[in-house]
Amino acid sequence: MAARHLDGIDHLILGVRDLEAARHAFARLGFNLTPRGRHVGWGTANYCIMFERDYLELLGILDPAQFTNGLDRLLALREGLLGMVLRSTEPSATAAAWQAAGLRPEGPKDLGRLLEHGGPGGQMLRFSNVYPAAEATAGLNFFACHHLTPELLRLPVWLAHPNGAVGIRTVTWLVPDVPPVVDVLARVLGPASVTWTDEVAAVHVGDATLLLARAEDIGMLHPPLVRLEPPAAPVAVAMGIRADPDRTRDFLERQGVAHEVDAAGGITVAPAEACGVLVEFVAA
């Protein structure tokens, strides 16, 4: 990963049809959310759930008459995890490494997000993204991001979550076939990042892990998802969040949120409670 100027997951993108309803849903799960941000020149906006090194982005549409980068088409099909963003330490170098790996990247492209915080004019957060060619990713939705204004990205108050959450631990992708996706990720992150257990692959990304499984194997990882149909393209269906499970369980019980506790003490919240994504809270 260092050779590709990447050092982990920057954030996960959750597409939501009603941004304010999604904000309330995740606050009910015990997450503290940032003020709303609007993408400059686009019709999309977000709320973010910040951790020390990564974060979750709840992404929705405020003005469908403006450019939505295809979010309208995705939300017509489903809500939930739409993609993964890798953290680049140097976007030009990441682009060069991806070009050498045959990913035919576009960028770096500089973009901005106006955060409704810090005064009447808000604060402008700027970042630079690198996008692999869509036909080179085996259907996996990801890109790389480098933050140009990191000092504005996090405040201590945004990092304090009542459910005890502190970061992203896992992302589970349901895939039509595992090897083609593993091949892409090996080119993106390096072949040493991949380990296999039977037909399931684990790809290590910094201190997080991507789990890749077919529909016939997904139930071994997440029993509530055992009836999922094989997808036409990779789709992220679950995320594991590092937390304090005792705090998480106490908060969910007080909020009346349905959840399951496994033998190891991990806590699972069904997709219906989290805008289409299965959420597992595991010990930090």
- Contact (CB, 8 A) for 168 and 205: no
Two domains, one topology: 2-155 and 167-283: yes
What average pLDDT is seen over the chain? 94
Q: What is the pTM of this model?
A: 0.94
Q: If DSSP codes are grouped into helix, strand and coil, which group holds residue 115?
A: strand
For the segment 83-118, what is each residue's pLDDT rounded down to a tens digit?
999 999 999 999 999 999 999 999 999 999 999 987
The topology under which CATH files domain 2-155 is 2,3-Dihydroxybiphenyl 1,2-Dioxygenase; domain 1 (3.10.180)
pLDDT at 119 over 90: no
Query: For the chain, percent helix, then strand, then coil, each to nearest 5?
Result: 30, 35, 35
What confidence category does residue 271 fall into, taking pLDDT thresholds of 50, 70 and 90? very high
What confidence category does residue 121 fall into, taking pLDDT thresholds of 50, 70 and 90? confident
The topology under which CATH files domain 167-283 is 2,3-Dihydroxybiphenyl 1,2-Dioxygenase; domain 1 (3.10.180)
Task: Give me the residue spans of the domains in the chain.
Answer: 2-155, 167-283
Mean pLDDT of 253-277: 94
Determine the Cα–Cα distance for residues 126 and 266; give it in Å rounded to an integer.
36
Beta bridge partner(s), residue 172: 211, 238
Q: What pLDDT is attached to residue 34?
A: 96
**H or E element, residue 223:** none
Q: If DSSP codes are grouped into helix, strand and coil, which group holds residue 176?
A: coil
pLDDT at 3 over 90: no
pLDDT at 263 over 90: no
Mean pLDDT of 20-35: 97
